[in-house]
Chain A
Amino acid sequence: GQNIDQPTEMTATEGAIVQINCTYQTSGFNGLFWYQQHAGEAPTFLSYNVLDGLEEKGRFSSFLSRSKGYSYLLLKELQMKDSASYLCAVKDSNYQLIWGAGTKLIIKP
């Protein structure tokens, strides 16, 4: 079966750096997405990786290793507003999106 694993919850301090990992086993791979979802709101797109390596976008970076079935989202200079759930999603060989359960990130002052 297809599976995406993320930690359920993480806690970090304001101003610090946090890395949220995502491992996947899917039938084929056509890209990996990271979304941010604040409580009670819809997800918003953060990043997309289809080739191995690091994609940087401001305070957020996303890394992919296709051979390891692994990605991480790196958040720098954490702000209180970064408290949210972060969803990892993989597009499989049928171009269907497979979603992880999300990682709830709690930022403490």
Chain B
Amino acid sequence: GAVVSQHPSRVICKSGTSVKIECRSLDFQATTMFWYRQFPKQSLMLMATSNEGSKATYEQGVEKDKFLINHASLTLSTLTVTSAHPEDSSFYICSARPPGEVSPLHFGNGTRLTVT
């Protein structure tokens, strides 16, 4: 089955630093990947749609200068949280859909970010 790999699984950083999270589709090419954020006991919130070779599409209220997305190849998208603050602490999950209109989203294992 389709596999999405996300790295790192857990990161602790200091306020003001930047953190990069990688998302790879291991056995399929993904022109589009999705980045979600999930706070404790809440549902998934779509942050942005990452498009290979073009700019990402951000959801309303998500700062594009703070959450930098790069989708440089058909199998890799990265999310960089810049100048992190404690309120950015959350569970970040990427996902991708194999080719085919009815293919479900497959999720990476998520990254638990803690900003101190």
Interface residues of A (CB under 8 A from B): 31, 33, 40-45, 48, 50, 87, 97, 99-102
Nearest 3 interchain pairs by C-beta = A42-B107, A101-B43, A45-B104
Contact A42 B43 (CB under 8 A): no
Contact B102 A97 (CB under 8 A): no
Contact B42 A42 (CB under 8 A): no
Contact A42 B110 (CB under 8 A): yes
Least Cβ distance of B3 to chain A in Å?
A: 12
Can you name 26 A-B residue pairings with CB atoms under 8 Å?
Answer: A33-B105, A40-B91, A40-B110, A41-B109, A41-B110, A42-B6, A42-B93, A42-B108, A42-B109, A42-B110, A43-B44, A43-B93, A43-B107, A45-B104, A45-B105, A45-B106, A50-B102, A87-B44, A97-B46, A97-B105, A99-B43, A99-B44, A99-B46, A100-B43, A101-B42, A101-B43
Contact A31 B44 (CB under 8 A): no
Least Cβ distance of A83 to chain B in Å?
A: 15
Least Cβ distance of A91 to chain B in Å?
A: 9
**How many B residues are at the interface, by size bracket?**
10 to 19
Residue of B nearest to A8 (CB): B41
Residue of A nearest to B111 (CB): A42
Contacting residue for B43 out of A40, A41, A102, CB 8 A: A102
Which residues of chain A are within 8 angstroms of B43 by Cβ–Cβ distance? 87, 99-102
CA distance A100 to B105 in the complex (A): 15
CA distance A48 to B93 in the complex (A): 21
CA distance A33 to B104 in the complex (A): 8
CA distance A31 to B97 in the complex (A): 14
Q: Which of A31, A33, A42, A87 is packed against the most chain B CB atoms within 10 Å?
A: A42
Which residues of chain A are within 8 angstroms of B112 by Cβ–Cβ distance? 40
Which residues of chain B are within 8 angstroms of A31 by Cβ–Cβ distance? 102
CA distance A41 to B44 in the complex (A): 12
User: Contact flags (1/0) for B88-116 with A, using CB distance below 8 Å?
Assistant: 00010100000000101111111010000
Which residues of chain B are within 8 angstroms of A44 by Cβ–Cβ distance? 107
Least Cβ distance of B40 to chain A in Å?
A: 10
